[in-house]
Amino acid sequence: MVSFIARRVAAALGTLFLSSVLVFLAVQALPGDVATQVLGKDATPDAVAALREKLSLDRPAWERYTDWVRGALHGDFGTSLVSGKAVGSEVSMYLGNSALIALITVLFAVTGSIVLGILAGLYRDRWPDHLISTVSLVGMSVPEFVVATVLVLCFSVALPWFPAVVLYGPDASVGQLLPAVWLPALALAVVMAAYIVRMARTSVIDVMASEYVTTARLKGLSTWRVVTRHALPGAMLPTLHVIALNVAWLAGGVAVVENVFNYPGIGKLMLSSVQNRDLPVIQAIALISAVVYVVCNLAADLGAMALNPKLRTRGRTR
Amino acid sequence: MTTLDTAPPAPPATAPARAARAWRTLRSSRAAVIGLAIVGVHVLIAVLAPLLTSYDPIANDSSHALLGPGWDHWAGTDQYGRDVLARVLYGGRYALGVSVAATLVTVALGTVVGCAAALRGGWFDDVLGRVLDAVLAVPSILALLVVVTALGTGPAVIVLAIAVVYVPQVVRVVRGAALAVVPADYVTAARARGESTWSILRREVLPNITDVVCVEFAMRASWVVLLISSLSFLGFGADPPTPDWGLMVAENRTAITVVPMASLAPIIALATLVVGLNLAADGLSKAWGVDRIREGS
Amino acid sequence: SGPAAAPVLPAAAKKGAPDRGGTLRIARPPASEAETLDPASALSAYEYLGALYNRLVRVDANGDLAPDLAESWEPDAQARTWTFRIREGVTFHDGRRLTAADAAYTLRHILDKATASPQAAVLAPLIDPKTLRTPDEHTLVVPLKTPNAEFPSLLTHYNCYVVPDGSARSIGRTGIGTGPFKLESFAPAGPGRVTAYTDHWQGRPVLDAIAFYSVADMSARSNALLAGQVDLLSQTNLDFATARVVAASSRATVARVKNAQWYVLPMLTTEKPFTDVRVRQAMKLAYDPEHVVKVALQGAGTAGWDNPVPPSDPAHIAAHPAHDPEKARYLLKQAGHEGLATDLYTSSYDPIFTPMALAYQDSAKRAGIRIKVKTAAADSYYTQIWMKKPLMATYWYTGRPVDQLFTQVFRGGSSYNETAWSDKDFDALLDRARRETDDNRRRELYGEAQTFVVEKGGAMTPMFADRLVGLSRKVRGYAEHGFEFDYLGIGLKGA
Amino acid sequence: MTSIVSVNSLSVAYRSGGRDVSVVHEVSWEVAEGRTLALVGESGSGKSTVAATLLGHLRHGSRITAGSVHVDGSDVFSLPARELRRLRGNTVAMVAQNAGHALTPSMRIGRQIAEAGGDVPVVDLLEQVRLPRPAELARRYPHELSGGQQQRVAIAMAVAARPKVLVLDEPTTGLDVVTQRGVLDLIGALRDELGLAAVLVSHDLGVVAHMADEVTVLRSGRVVESAPTRQLFAMPQDPYTRRLLASVPRLDDAGLALVGEAGEREVRPKAHVPDTAPVAVSARDLTIDYGSSRAVHGVSFDVRRGEVLALVGESGSGKSTLAWTLAGLRTPSGGTMTHDSGDLARPAQKRPLALRRRVQLVFQNADTSLNPRRSVGDAVRRPLRFFGTAATRTQAADRARRLISDVRLDPALADRLPAQLSGGQRQRIGIARALAGEPDVLIADEITTALDVSVQADVLRLLDDLRRERELACLFISHDLAVVRGIADRVVVLRHGVVVEEGPTDAVFASPGHPYTRRLMAAALEPDPDAAPFVDGAVDWSDAAEPDDLWTDHGPGHRVRRWRPADRLTTEGVS
Ligand SMILES: Nc1ncnc2c1ncn2[C@@H]1O[C@H](COP(=O)(O)OP(=O)(O)OP(=O)(O)O)[C@@H](O)[C@H]1O
Ligand SMILES: Nc1ncnc2c1ncn2[C@@H]1O[C@H](COP(=O)(O)OP(=O)(O)OP(=O)(O)O)[C@@H](O)[C@H]1O
Ligand SMILES: [Mg+2]
Ligand SMILES: [Mg+2]
């Protein structure tokens, strides 16, 4: 068990390392000289040279990479080319705001969709299943920006229950943001839940058809007991990974929704830093998203371990 | 030969018969039929758009701006006086064209790489897995934005960007499917004959994962359509005045209370196409016994 | 415009007296994180500047010069030395009294290289900072290097707000000025708040406070207005469709500021093919400005005919070449660019850009010009596209005195010369006009300059647009011209 | 005599393509208290379907179209849900075929047993099914047990609530002979101890003969014959039953049995392999490793042209590993392998083409050995073209047709997909494909294990014919001793990768020299209720081979690895 965790963590670290290299290389590939970019129309050759030196652009890429990684390990992601502030603190501010949305989204989407998915799976081919499946199909088929726009129209403009946009900056307090997180969270939850519902449904159906559930039934157990004790752990296993992927997707998927709601979150920062070629910020966001992805997957693995004794008691994954 | 060896009474199957059988299985799934029909209608509309409407989707006509639905303009006009219906009809061309191209490239590449990984195994598979995982760890929208920013917008760039983002996921799915095939004895037999990797891949593995690949195609296509529309919506996709659904929503959503059809029509078009693709993927996977969500996520 | 399509938009905001007090909430597009409140180098924080500061001289609603912190001013006979009489009894927000030294410091601050003020390019050829004199506490004498009859108009620019003596280091954050509001908080590209300055020399404003919010997305901004989260959208010219949505709403309405901004399609004269004057002329002759006004503005504006001087300006001349696609075609052929194909960059920064670009594209087709409209990101539009791409869409606020306009935007080497057009003859013409003290003669020279720009310059000016400002139905006393509105009188009813 | 179970004219069907497909037709039978009834028949004959109806269970999509099932006086399919649950818990219990799948993987087995109800403590139950250290075992998860242990747990679970009827659906099919014997003995003992009625589903007539009081033979969902066990085995009435019985190979057959239409048996003597026949392949001190674990330790053997050498041993003894290595799919870590035309030490891709085609493999599982998307003709044509044995396309097609008829199939089948053939037909195609390279060595890895007995007999016949016709050297791998007896000329007994005994088939079967061989033979079940064990039970032993003194000789070519009786009682563990 310990070795299983150790291996997973090692793999996760490897992934992170590779991601960081990829991100660094990709960002280097962005066209245009950064220094000229930053200085804009005022760029004199002297100023460009000075800035190049300041940004250490004149040094070989691998040196810059190691510097960057060393800094990142100490929480120092450099300074933003646009605002001149420390990237680390800036990104974490935006990230915190997004985390608020993510938390609410995950809470609602995950619990709700698991319950719905299980219901659909148990009532397979009957009306609750048809209803849930149809709704989730539509949820999957409508892009986030449409859901978000419709929500604004309904619940901000027509019925002024929630703010249509966030008027605060990234340093807003939780209290200021709280009224504004519900609509974005709902928009994200609709899209995210659709996938989890469908996954939960299929795996419940699969597990309910398995021999061990049949055996449990033939033991004369009640349906409730069969479902909760025998079927659920098995059904949750594949669902767990879908949930993890969806949570990781949130890290990037918020971009569109945050844009619609002017929400000062990581997605919005991502858009604007790509547009402004704010390389240190892009790198930091990519790296942090990679961390989120890796952590989510690791969490899913650990969850799988809790649900699946085979993983807990054996050293090997397969 | 004797007695109890009872052969099933199946008719001999030739290649066309095999196709017919695939079609029969497919037809047995209502979802797949409906889904493919919806997609087919979309394709038809896109191809026949010039015959279906006499309006030019990009001609400005200031004297007929922001009209509600009426006899001349069934779905009204937008703020440039362009016929909304014409734009929606033509809009499928961009959405379908780019999505199909992007999906084809993505799935083809992913399939070859995924099969090769499964077949080769060993360090090749390990290293590839690590690299793909690392790519997956970067949010797709960020990767897309970076590619598009680096190379500029345009259909070719978007196809490339989508390939970058989705190939790893396709590789995963296809590799998973191929891994189920690779240990099969007929692959072993081919290996024992000493056949080359490529020939094993083409003759033994690929035919057995075509169903997975087809389902993957349909599902990927639905994601790609959504992604492309999101890109257009964010201003990274089609350039105006291209008739494109995502762009139309972005252009008209502020005016949704005045000319609702200008936003609703492209949304409906987009949603039905994606529903069609999703239904097709669902139906195909059910008919062919591919568990799509599990593999697709 | 369409019969059923375009109902008449309300021409102005609700009239009537506001209630005293209240907080006005303004949504504005975020500028960069580098945004500063230092008026000399500020590029975008117009709303703050107008509330926090005063200038020596301002432009009134009729386009004439009016006294602000300078009670009066006069030139010597050759318009070479200008003497300003500084108002007494004015205090800064920190309680200090305003003196001529502050005014002199303001000019020196603008001219200081370290400040990097855009206005420095306009003023530096005229003023040597060392020669500024303050004979007494309330007199400022400005000797000019060359005579300039329009000099005071150059001080109406928003870079010329008066700041306290010696404040260069801190002014970008503190925002201490003499304006009707004082700064409470400010975050670059973020929210901020100003509160009424009760000791303002013109008396306290009607409002208690103004809250500013930054909202990047145009439709998010209008949604905020529709949802009643903000009272006014600044720096936002609503497109026609949005204006109709706003006008139809129960919470908000639209105010219309006539010919408030002029829209430009600048061709970079340093980039092929626009280096060739024939191509520039062809581009201008190729399109019909009336068509652009109709498509992009639904008629809510005036055709510009490539003359940047607004029709309301006394110096404006109406003469211009007629729309002639055939001639354009011919010119292009001569220049070896028949069937010219080029990219035209726009952005959602301003909702009119894309309509204008599409209208131009549509119209120029007849001359065989193929335009590809490309959308660039709003956030970085003015750092990545403006003055970088050969052809793009942009706009200016009207309300610049004609000399300021030409000097700032068209003179060779000036900071905002967005077409990088540099023509010695034109510059000489400008110099002559500036020196000319006879008003009529000067007006004629500026007329010549306009012809010059129309014929040879790189800027296409399709139209002057009425600005459609979205504001809450509660807002009273809204009056806007140039870069600012009436901060003293604006207020809310029933807030 | 009261019958506790009675099935009356039961018909079951499922809907497919809008019409009912019948699976079981008007089946009737009864079981009296304390008696055991066996349901036998080929795969797909409806055995499991009928058995499960005793618990009121039907597969998803199928339904009862006629008849009824009564258990302990109640009509199972008209019981309300609550009553049905009570019936399942208390009156009838089921042991499913594959305990590995039937136990919930995320639950400790103790809990699962306790859940089944009844008052007997879990530990006692585990003890009753003879599992060692029951208290500790109860805390384990299913995957921490071996297949045999899992099956015992499933049995414990079934008898926990002390039901009156036990339904056993192929309870030992997945297990090897030795383990199977143990589980069957346990079931028998429990049945007698608790006085249970049992319904045993099996296709293995040996198991049936050993366990059942009565037998019902099913074929395509219909009852063919029903009789007390002794009577059925002694005087089968129905020709089908007779053929079925006759097809079962027996340990005392000296050759392959030929079965006639009416079930008459005739044993064909083995082909004579002259001593002068050249050696086709030979292995010397072969060692094969999987990573750090050694699967095969220093095995040596020769196979001569026209000879069948059988490799026997329980599951995991390294038989397949040897086969794969010979075929060039694994590289040995030590020793040599030679073919008369070259060295076999290198993997297949690196062997010269000429050598590659000389050694061919036939796979165990006919389902997975043919590409389901390619016609069987394709499967045969490919090696013809690949090895260059047929120069042109038409030639290849011709030759493929000939090969297909060589394996006694209709060449018209060439256009079919594997799924359209029966298991036996597929296995023949597999053989045809192997023959396409014109090999002189054929490796047959459990090629009949997955087939029904009658089909198995046909395939064995074919193999025997082929080796006679083509002088094939054949390495025949099996764990079924009766099959080996009929076809092999010589036997090599493998245990944990080590050869413990080898010799001419007759000699080894007549006097097995190694206790391990004896144990294998003792565990084999003959299709005869009165059969005495073929050999006496084995003694406990330990290996006594010295590096330079490995063997004891028991006659010409028959040698046995040195062993000695165990000093103390080594509990080999209950598998
Ligand atoms: N619901 C169903 N859907 C499809 N086929 C079914 C269904 N129920 C039963 N069958 C078919 O009915 C036949 C009988 O199945 P059953 O499992 O009872 O056979 P069996 O004798 O137990 O076979 P085996 O020895 O392989 O276990 C099979 O051919 C099976 O495919
Ligand atoms: N791919 C592998 N990796 C590691 N160990 C393996 C592998 N394949 C087989 N083994 C191990 O090698 C040993 C021999 O396996 P092999 O498959 O040759 O046995 P077998 O005699 O063919 O058994 P069966 O009768 O079940 O087919 C077993 O202990 C098995 O666990
Ligand atoms: Mg069965
Ligand atoms: Mg084996």
- Give the type of residue at C182: K
Identity at D510, one-letter amino acid code: A
Choice from D314, D317, D333, D448 to test ligand 2 binding pocket (greatest atom count within 8 A of CB) = D317
Contact B146, B268 (CB under 8 A): no
Mean pLDDT lowest for which of A152-161, C165-174, D282-291? Answer: A152-161
* ∠ CA B13-D449-B180, rounded to 5°: 60
Please classify residue D296 by burial: count the beta carbons closer than 10 Å to its beta carbon, then call 0-12 exposed, 13-18 middle and 19+ buried.
Answer: buried
The rounded distance, in Å, linking the Cα atoms of C315 and C200 is 35
Does the residue A214 lie in any domain?
A: no
3-state secondary structure (DSSP) of residue B137: helix
Verify whether the Cβ–Cβ distance B142 to A26 is below 8 Å. Answer: no
Same domain, A170 and A295: yes
Name every chain B residue with its beta carbon within 8 A of the beta carbon of C355. 79-80
CA distance D261 to D264: 7
Candidate from A18, A137, A286 with C-beta closest to B142 = A286
Contact A219 D144 (CB under 8 A): no
Secondary element (H or E) of residue D120: none
Contacts of C291 in chain B (CB under 8 A): 62
Q: Which two tokens stand for residue C85?
A: 């009489």
- pLDDT of D573 reads 41
Closest C-alpha among B199, B251, B261, B206 to residue B229: B251
Mean pLDDT to the nearest integer, B216-229: 83
Strand bridging mode D441-445 / D473-478: parallel
Using CA atoms of A190, A196, A200, A206 in order, give the dihedral in degrees to the nearest 10: 130
Choose one of D210, D237, D264: the last residue of a domain: D237
Contact by Cβ (8 Å): A27, A282: yes
Instruction: Report CA torsion sign: C90, C95, C101, C106.
Output: negative
Instruction: Establish if C362 touches chain B: CB-CB under 8 angstroms.
Output: yes
| Structural tokens at position D302 | 């020769």
Q: Is D79 exposed, middle or buried (0-12, 13-18, 19+ CB in 10 A)?
A: middle
The reply to whether A231 falls in a domain is no
B62 and C375 within 8 Å at the Cβ level: the answer is no
| ipTM of the prediction greater than 0.85, yes or no | no
Please give the structure tokens belonging to residue B209. Answer: 């994962």
- Give a yes or no: residue D435 inside a domain: yes
Exposure string of C272-295, with b = 16+ CB inside 10 Å and e = fewer, is ebbbbbbbbbbbbbbbbbbbbbbb
Q: What pLDDT digit, counting tens, does each position of D140-199 carry?
A: 888 888 888 888 898 888 888 888 899 998 888 777 788 888 888 888 888 888 888 999
State whether the Cα torsion B41-B44-B48-B49 is positive or negative.
Answer: positive
Q: Which among B263, B274, B291 has CB closest to A202?
A: B291
Domain identity same for A10 and A157: no
Over residues A195-214, the mean pLDDT reads 85
Winning range, highest mean pLDDT, from C17-21, C330-334, D148-152? C330-334
Q: What are the φ/ψ torsions at residue A239 (nearest 5 degrees)?
A: -60, -35
Q: What is the 3-state secondary structure (H, E, C) of B119-136?
A: HHCHHHHHHHHHHHHHHH
Judged by average pLDDT, the poorest of A148-152, B162-166, C109-113, C382-386 is: C382-386
Report if residue A190 sits inside a domain.
yes
Dihedrals phi, psi of D427, to nearest 5 degrees: -65, -35
B69 upstream amide cis, omega within 30 of 0: no
- Report the alpha-carbon distance of residue C305 to residue D382 in Å, rounded: 78
Instruction: Answer for the pair D558, D513: CB distance below 8 angstroms, yes or no.
Output: yes
> What is the maximum span of chain C, computed from C-alpha positions, in angstroms?
67
Closest partner residue to C358 (CB to CB) among B66, B80, B257 is B80
Distance in angstroms (rounded) separating the CA atoms of residues B294 and C290: 59
Q: Nearest chain A residue to B276 by CA: give it.
A: A141
pLDDT at A46: 63
In this structure, is the dihedral angle defined by the CA atoms of residues B126, B131, B134 and B138, taken in order, positive or negative? negative
Domain that holds residue D174: 3-237
Rounded to whole angstroms, the Cα distance separating D332 from D286 reads 7
Q: Which domain holds residue A177?
A: 92-205+241-311
Say whether residue A259 is in contact with chain B using an 8 A CB cutoff. Answer: yes
Cβ of D43 closer than 6 Å to ligand 1, yes or no, is: yes
pLDDT in tens, B73-129: 877 888 777 888 888 888 888 888 888 899 999 999 999 998 888 888 788 888 888
C touches which chains (3+ CB pairs under 8 A)? Answer: A, B
Q: How far apart are the first and last CA of chain D?
A: 38
User: SS3 for C422?
Assistant: coil
Tell me if the bond preceding C273 is cis, omega within 30° of 0.
yes
Is D447 within the bounds of a domain?
yes
Q: Determine whether the interchain pair B137/A282 forms a contact, defined as Cβ–Cβ distance below 8 Å.
A: no
Question: Model confidence over C199-244: pLDDT tens digits?
Answer: 898 888 999 999 998 887 788 888 889 888 899 998 888 888 888 8
User: What dotted CATH number matches B25-54+74-295?
Assistant: 1.10.3720.10
**C-beta of residue C268 within 8 angstroms of C-beta of residue C458:** yes
DSSP secondary structure letter of residue D97: S
Q: Which residues pair with C19 in a beta bridge?
A: C492
pTM of this structure = 0.79
B residues 131..190 contacting C (CB < 8 A): 153
Is the pLDDT at A277 greater than 80? The verdict is: no
Q: Tell me the DSSP string of C305-353.
A: TT--S-TTSTT-----PPP-HHHHHHHHHHHT-TT-EEEEEEETTSTTH
- Tell me, yes or no, whether D233 and D287 share the same domain: no
Q: Which of A41, A74, A107 is the last residue of a domain?
A: A74
Among residues A14, A44, A74, the one where a domain terminates is A74
Read off the pLDDT band of A119 (50, 70, 90).
confident
Backbone angles phi, psi at C270, to 5 degrees: -95, -5
Nearest to C142, CA basis, from C156, C128, C154, C153: C128
Residue-wise DSSP of D454-508: HHHHHHHHHHHHHHHHH--EEEEEES-HHHHHHH-SEEEEEETTEEEEEEEHHHH
Show Cβ contacts of residue A10 under 8 Å, excluding neighbours closer than 6 positions: none
D243 falls within a domain: no
Under 8 Å between Cβ of A254 and A98:
yes
Determine how β-strand D359-362 pairs with β-strand D441-445: parallel
Q: Last residue of some domain: D206, D237, D268?
A: D237
* pLDDT (average), residues A43-48: 59
Q: Would you report the helix, strand and coil content of chain D in percent, each value rounded to 5?
A: 35, 30, 35
Ligand 1 centroid to residue D457 C-alpha, Å: 24
D171 alpha carbon – ligand 3 mean position (Å): 10
Which candidate from A146, A153, A289 shows the least CB-CB separation from B139?
A289
Categorize the per-residue pLDDT at C481 as very low, low, confident or very high, splitting at 50, 70 and 90.
Answer: confident
Judgement on whether residues D227 and D315 belong to the same structural domain of the protein: no
Report d(CA B86, CA D443) in Å as an integer.
Answer: 69
Same domain, D298 and D393: yes
Q: Quick one: A185 and A47 in the same domain?
A: no
D381 and D287 belong to one structural domain:
yes
Closest CA to A110 of A17, A185, A215: A185
Within a domain: A221: no
Nearest-Cα distance to chain C for B235, in Å, is 7
Q: How many CB atoms lie under 10 A from the CB of residue D3?
A: 17
Q: Do A101 and A60 reside in the same domain of the chain?
A: no
Amino acid, res. B100: V
What CATH number does the domain containing D212 carry? 3.40.50.300
The ligand with the least distance to the CA atom of D179 is 2
Residue D477 lies in a domain: yes
First to last CA, chain C: 37
- In this structure, which residue's CA is closest to atom 25 in ligand 1? D43
CA–CA separation, D243 vs D259, rounded Å? 7
Which chain B residues have a beta carbon less than 8 Å from that of D383?
193
Residue in this structure with the two tokens 């008003």, named with its chain if needed: C439
Residue D198, domain member (yes or no): yes
Q: How far apart are the first and last CA of chain B?
A: 50
Q: Where are the beta strands (DSSP E) in C351-473?
A: 370-376, 394-397, 459-472
CB C259 within 8 A of CB C465: yes
If asked whether residues A124 and A192 sit together in one domain, one would say yes
Verify that A157 and A278 share a domain, yes or no: yes
- Number of C-alpha atoms within 13 angstroms, CB side, residue D370? 32
Q: Please tell me the total count of domains within chain D.
A: 2
Question: Using a 6 Å cutoff on CB, does residue D370 contact ligand 1?
Answer: no
List chain D pLDDT tens, one digit each, 575 residues: 578 899 999 999 987 767 788 889 999 999 998 899 999 988 888 888 899 898 888 887 788 999 999 998 889 888 898 888 888 878 899 888 777 888 988 889 899 988 887 788 888 888 888 888 888 888 888 888 888 888 889 888 888 888 889 999 888 877 778 888 888 888 888 888 888 899 999 888 888 988 899 999 999 889 999 999 999 888 888 988 888 888 888 888 878 888 877 777 888 888 788 878 888 898 999 999 887 888 898 899 999 998 999 999 888 888 889 998 998 888 888 888 888 878 888 888 888 888 888 888 898 877 788 888 888 888 899 888 888 877 788 888 888 998 898 888 888 888 888 888 878 888 889 989 988 888 889 999 888 877 788 888 888 888 898 888 888 899 999 888 888 988 999 999 998 889 999 999 989 988 888 888 988 888 888 888 777 766 766 678 888 778 777 888 888 889 899 888 876 554 444 44
* Spatial contact of C210 and C197, defined as CB atoms under 8 Å apart: no
Mutating to test ligand 1, I would choose from D27, D47, D170, D449 the residue with most ligand atoms within 8 A of its C-beta, which is D47
Q: How far apart are CA D509 and CA D527, in angstroms?
A: 18
User: Are C306 and C451 a contacting pair, CB within 8 Å?
Assistant: no
- Whether the CA torsion C404, C406, C408, C414 is positive or negative: it is negative
Name residue, tokens 């008026």: C39
In sequence order, the β-bridge partners of residue D478 are D312
In a domain? residue A236: no
Residues of chain A contacting C33 with CB distance shorter than 8 Å: 80, 82-85
CA dist A52 and A65 (Å) reads 16
Same domain for A65 and A133?
Answer: no
Q: Are residues D79 and D200 in the same domain?
A: yes
pLDDT band at C176 (very low <50, low <70, confident <90, very high): very high
Pocket test residue of D146, D289, D293, D520 for ligand 2, highest count of atoms within 8 A of CB:
D293
Task: Indicate if D323 and D450 belong to the same structural domain.
Answer: yes
Judge if D82 and D231 occupy the same domain: yes
Does the CB of A154 have a partner CB in chain B at under 8 Å?
A: no
Which of A24, A40, A74 represents a domain boundary (last residue)? A74
Report the percentage of chain C scoring pLDDT > 90.
26
Parallel, antiparallel or unpaired: strands D541-543 and D473-478: unpaired
Residue A38, pLDDT score: 57
Quote the CA–CA distance of D498 and D560 in Å, as a whole number: 11
Size of interface B-D (CB pairs under 8 A): 107
Residues in chain A within 8 Å Cβ distance of D168: none
Q: What CA–CA distance (Å, rounded) separates C232 from A195?
A: 41
Q: Is the pLDDT of residue C8 over 70?
A: no
Rg of the Cα atoms in chain D: 25
Rounded Cα–Cα distance for residues B293 and A64 (Å): 41
- Asked if B4 lies within 8 A of D409 by C-beta distance, the reply is no
Contact at 8 Å (CB) between B80 and C358? yes
Q: What is the tally of helices (H) and strands (E) in chain C?
A: 14, 20
Residues C310 and C261: their CA atoms lie apart, in Å, by 9
